Amino acid sequence: MPSAPAGPRAPAAPVVLALLHTSPVHVPVFDALREQDHPRLRVRHFVDEDLLRRARRDGPETVADDVTAVLERAVAEGAGAVLCTCSTIGAVAEAAGAGRVPPVLRVDRPMAAQAVAAGPRVVVVAAVESTLAPTAALLLQEAERAGRRLRVRPLLVPGAWARFEAGDTDGYVRAVAEAADSVTGAEADAVVLAQASMAPARNLTTTSVPVLSSPRPGLAAAARAATRAAGAAAPA
């Protein structure tokens, strides 16, 4: 007897990515990148400015429980992956998500891998001092993973974060770009813009040294992770 026709295929599981921000300014940035690069991706934003304030004051590890609570909420609401867009608490988010399904990613890890590939001398530009140590540690992790030697030099931009907090985004971005432009090829193989909020400064720089920012590669990596999770969750 002829076999019965196959029934309709079950609809593909939606690809949902949760983003953990410590500033609302990141929401439109990542929404725009999603529209440009990942139009089928659904995103859910979780914004908690107090996480960064407390991490700067008391240390990133002091917000671990609150970060875990956000991750659990995101997973409960259907996220296939979670992306932390704050460099200061990125390591905390990764640690809280270790061994979890779905995966938890930090936005700056792909950028760090790009920096390591560029050469052994990397300058880290930051507007918040609490970002410098986590970013340097991440770069050294990626260098060890790649089997490469790396020298990291921090470059804190004085006054830039005060401009950001005052709402002077243009002044903040210009200050970051000027700091990046102060780095020459004689001293660095790559310049890392440590904070996601710095990404627009990349378009203003004129230095010959490659200037790297985290939002686009970080979102791409998280979108791939969320897509894999959605595929694994889809019924056969």
pLDDT of res. 30: 97
92, 62 Cβ separation under 8 angstroms: no
CA distances 141 to 12, 91, 149, Å, are: 36, 11, 11
Q: What is the structure's pLDDT at 236?
A: 47
Rounded to whole angstroms, the Cα distance separating 187 from 153 reads: 10
Q: Are 235 and 10 in contact (CB under 8 A)?
A: yes
- Single-letter code of the amino acid located at 192: V
How much is the pLDDT for 3? Answer: 53
Task: Read off the amino acid at residue 43.
Answer: V
Q: What is the pLDDT of residue 5?
A: 53
Which residue is listed with tokens 């690809």? 15
3 state SS of 140: helix
**First-residue to last-residue Cα distance in the chain:** 25
CB atoms within 10 A of CB 171: 15
Beta-strand relationship, 81-84 and 104-106: parallel
Closest alpha carbon to 154 in 119, 118, 179: 179
As a whole number of angstroms, the distance between CA 89 and CA 96 comes to 11
Extract the residue ranges of the chain whose pLDDT is less than 50: 1, 7-11, 236
State pTM to two decimals: 0.89
What's the confidence (pLDDT) of residue 101?
Answer: 74
Residue given tokens 């410098």 in the structure block: 132
- Which pLDDT score is estimated for 4? 52
* Residue 10 pLDDT: 42
Q: How far apart are CA 229 and CA 161, in angstroms?
A: 36
Q: How far is CA 188 from the centre of its chain?
A: 22
Q: Which residues pair with 11 in a beta bridge?
A: none
Element (H, E) at 164: helix 160-165
